[in-house]
Structure 1
Amino acid sequence: MKKIVMTASDALGLAGEMSMHFGHCSHFVVAQLDDADRLVGAEVVANPFADAHQPGQLPAYIQSLDADVVLAGGMGAKAIELFACNGIEVVTGARPGVEETLDAYLAGELNGASQCAHAH
């Protein structure tokens, strides 16, 4: 079983819109995939740190969800580094829709992470 966590700007799950910045999303969509990378379930969880967070809080929260991969529009260098240290793959450059982003990742069209250039 593989878990992919995606940043969302709403609570619509796979039908929702991606949040383009990891640290400011209102929700996460957690997709569960079987060993053949087929979607077997998805749940929406509210971001407990949507209003404010300290460095490291969000990566620790995502790790607590047993994530294997995080898909986001953009992410800061420190978060990318913390995920890498914990063996969680980060992929940035998301598509507008949550399901569209997941499909692109599974098709091999999205890979790698580049950090956001702006400071927080």
Structure 2
Amino acid sequence: MKKKIAIPLEGNVLSAHFGHCQAFAFVEVENNEIKNITVLDPPEHQPGTFPRFVAAQGATDVIGGGMGPQAISLFNEAGVNVFIGAPIDTPEKLVRSFLDGNLQLSANYCNHDGHKHEHGHHHH
């Protein structure tokens, strides 16, 4: 199984705010082993730029802190799984925890079925 996991960076750790990150780490994983980590500077930030940039690098998953709904839907449209609410840590540690199933997340948005889920319309 091959994955390419993108992580927004502030310095050399996870950026809490996806849209304000300084760079992206792309962690290539094969058979649950980290094979390669590439750090790239993103294009100038405009709405929708970062998700398109990350998807264009061939990312399969994104691990982030906070992320807006537009970015999440752009990733899902591109077939990229989104995992947010991750702790501030290095890309290696985050990906290792993710691969081991130990990463603490507040939410994940996996696009398994292609149909939209409605959230936020609760009638009691």
- How high is the TM-score relative to the length of structure 2? 0.77
Larger RCO of the pair (alpha carbons < 8 Å, separation 6+): 1
Counting only pairs closer than 5 Å after superposition, residues 29-68 of structure 1 correspond to structure 2 as 29-34=25-30, 36-49=31-44, 53-68=45-60
Query: How many angstroms apart in 2 are the aligned matches of 1:56 and 1:84?
Result: 12
Deviations 1:38-68 (CA, angstroms, capped at 9, x unpaired): 111111111222xxx2221111101111000
Q: CA RMSD in A?
A: 1.6
Deviations 1:41-100 (CA, angstroms, capped at 9, x unpaired): 111111222xxx222111110111100001111100010011111110000112221222
Unpaired segments ≥5 residues, structure 2: 110-124
Match of 1:22 in 2: 18
Q: Percent identity?
A: 33
Q: How far off is 1:18 after superposition?
A: 1.1
Match of 1:95 in 2: 87
Q: 2:67 aligns with which of 68, 75, 81?
A: 75
Over alpha carbons, which structure has the higher Rg?
2
User: Does the 8 A contact of 2:18 with 2:65 survive in 1?
Assistant: yes
Query: How many angstroms apart in 1 are the aligned matches of 2:55 and 2:49?
Result: 10
Instruction: Kindly tell me the number of residue pairs found equivalent between the two proteins.
Output: 105
Deviations 1:3-27 (CA, angstroms, capped at 9, x unpaired): 00001112xxxxx211111110001
Q: What amino acid does structure 1 have at the position aligned with 2:69?
A: A
Structure with higher strand content = 2
Match of 2:121 in 1: none
Match of 1:3 in 2: 4
